[in-house]
Each structure stands twice: as structure tokens, then as C-alpha cells.
Amino acid sequence: RLTGQQQEINSLMQRKSAVDEENARLKNEFSNLNWKFKDKSQELKDTEECAQKKEEQNRLVIKNLEEENKGLNICCADLLNDLEKLRKQEAQWKKEKSGNDARIKNLETDLAETREQIKSLHSICSNLSSQVDVKQEELFQKDCDV
């Protein structure tokens, strides 16, 4: 009977030893998993902080771009207004140029007519001058005769 109990005790001791080994292995595995969990938790925290910083940077970039866009929109509006003014001014200048071109053409026609008149008057003047010379010669002759 003692041997049976001894065998049972030995068997229980072997089981206890096996359970203790399994327990130690599980504690070691738990410890390793706990370290990995802490590492992953820290990694997640770092990643979240990095994502938060990136998000803040992106918000700043977006805000700056929106402000720059506002400025560019104002600049574009000003440029479009200037362009419209310049187009109106161009149309006005074209109208004035057209009027000036017509005036120049009229003046050139008048100038050509005036040149013809001057030519004609020169010719008349030349004839008259010849007649005056002839009359002066006659007058001189009559003076001499007298």
C-alpha cells in the first residue's frame, strides 16, 4: 500500500514538475508577449504622434495655400480689371486712330492740291515776272528816248 501511495506521490510530483515547467514556459512567453505589447503600444503611440504632427503640418500647409490662393484670386481679379480697362482704351485708341488716319488722308489730299496750286501760281508768277521785265525794258527804252 505504501508503494502505491509512493507511486502516486511520484506521479503527482512528476505532474507538478511538468506543470511547473509549463507554468515557467507560459510565464516566459507571457513576459515576452508583454514586452512586445509594450513595444507595439509605444510604436502605436509614436505613430499616432507622428500622424498628429503630420496632420497639423498639413493643416498649416492647407491654411497657407488657401491664403496664398486668396491673394492670387485678388491679383487675378485686379489683372482682369486692368485687362478690361486696357481693352476699352485700345478700342478708344483704334477709334481715334481711324479718325486721325482719315484726317491725315484729307490733309495729304489738301497738300497735293495746294502743291498743284503753288506750281500753277509759280508759273503765273514767272510769266508775270517776265512781263514785268519786258515792261521795265520798254520803260527804260522810253526813258532813254525821252
pLDDT over 90 at 80, yes or no? yes
| Rounded distance between C-alpha atoms, residue 127 and residue 144, angstroms | 25
User: Rounded CA gap, 112 and 43, in Å?
Assistant: 97
Is the model's pLDDT at 1 over the cut of 80?
no
Residue 2 has pLDDT above 80, yes or no: no
Among 70, 73, 91, smallest CA distance to 81 is for 73
Predicted confidence (pLDDT) at residue 92 exceeds the cutoff of 70: yes
Digit-coded pLDDT (tens) for 104-116: 999 999 999 999 9
3-class secondary structure per residue, the chain: CHHHHHHHHHHHHHHHHHHHHHHHHHHHHHHHHHHHHHHHHHHHHHHHHHHHHHHHHHHHHHHHHHHHHHHHHHHHHHHHHHHHHHHHHHHHHHHHHHHHHHHHHHHHHHHHHHHHHHHHHHHHHHHHHHHHHHHHHHHHHHHHHC
Of 92, 59, 71, 47, the C-alpha closest to 79 is 71
Which residue has 510530483 as its cell numbers? 13
